[in-house]
Amino acid sequence: MESVLSKACTIKIQNFEGPFDLLFHLIEKNQINIYDIPIHEITDQYMDYLFAMQELDLEIASEFLVMAATLLHIKSKLLLPSPKREKEEDEPDPREELVLKLIEYKKYKRFTEILKTREKECEKYFYRGPEDIDIKCEDEPLELSYDELKRVYVELIERNERKMNKNTGKMTQIVQHEKVTLRSKIRDIIRTLLKKPIFKFSELFSPKTRSRLEIVTGFLAILELAKLKKITLIQPKPFADITVCKCEDTNLEDIDDENVAAEN
């Protein structure tokens, strides 16, 4: 009569793809820190699985035996007293190589689970393959008389003329480029501040009197002057009008072109 342990091992070992899969299962089952493996406990549990496989006359793959030999070798290194050395920290941990391999295996195991999940999702979809459409191309000679060809040609010319704008020849310029520089807007703001130390941005750059390019450039100009600590900007709430205030003890006339950002 088979023992309970043997029955458990029979079910589990048949599902393990290799020795690392079995070893990783033991680590997760015992909630062990993979960086600090209690090699004595893991080795004993691993050997119990192999002994159960032998009792059930199951074929043990050579990879499982190699892992068993590796665990026993590490266990023996930890049990045997090591010779005294001047620097104990220089002695490598016998478990280090095994831990690195387990970390690498864990990474690929997670990646495999992701691929299996995607495979199950893709099994829900069915795709229809492309159909072979047999189209026979046959050159059919087109017979046109001279008069018919002339009539079609005249119709094409007349249709093209109707599409053309009659005022095309009178056009001399399609788009007029508006030249607005950052320096010019800074000078406009300085001239306004010399007259009154406080003004609203919309008063100087109103959408009714200024183009969109001038408003954007004017906004960049007040940011540049604020960066130079020549003015202070006040905005009580988002999207509200901006109040431009001249800083105290500030001489706006000393702003030269070297202190201003380059032109757009």
Q: Which domains does the chain have, with CATH numbers?
A: 4-79+92-122 (no CATH), 182-259 (1.10.10.580)
- Angle, helices 39-55 vs 19-29, to 10°: value is 120
What is the H or E stretch that residue 234 is in?
strand 231-234
pLDDT score at 220: 92
Q: C-alpha distances in angstroms, 97 versus 22, 35, 58, 71, 92?
A: 17, 11, 29, 11, 10
pLDDT score at 262: 44
pLDDT score at 133: 82
Q: Is 129 exposed, middle or buried (0-12, 13-18, 19+ CB in 10 A)?
A: exposed
- Under-50 pLDDT residues of the chain: 1-14, 86-87, 258, 261-264
Give residue-wise pLDDT tens across range 191-226: 888 888 899 998 888 888 888 888 999 999 999 998
DSSP state of 155: H
In 3D space, the residue among 238, 234, 158 whose CA is nearest the CA of residue 198 turns out to be 234
In 3D space, the residue among 24, 62, 61, 31 whose CA is nearest the CA of residue 46 turns out to be 24
Q: Is 112 exposed, middle or buried (0-12, 13-18, 19+ CB in 10 A)?
A: exposed
In 3D space, the residue among 82, 70, 83, 5 whose CA is nearest the CA of residue 39 turns out to be 70
pTM over 0.75: no
Query: What is the token pair recorded at 215?
Result: 């408003």
Q: Is 204 exposed, middle or buried (0-12, 13-18, 19+ CB in 10 A)?
A: buried
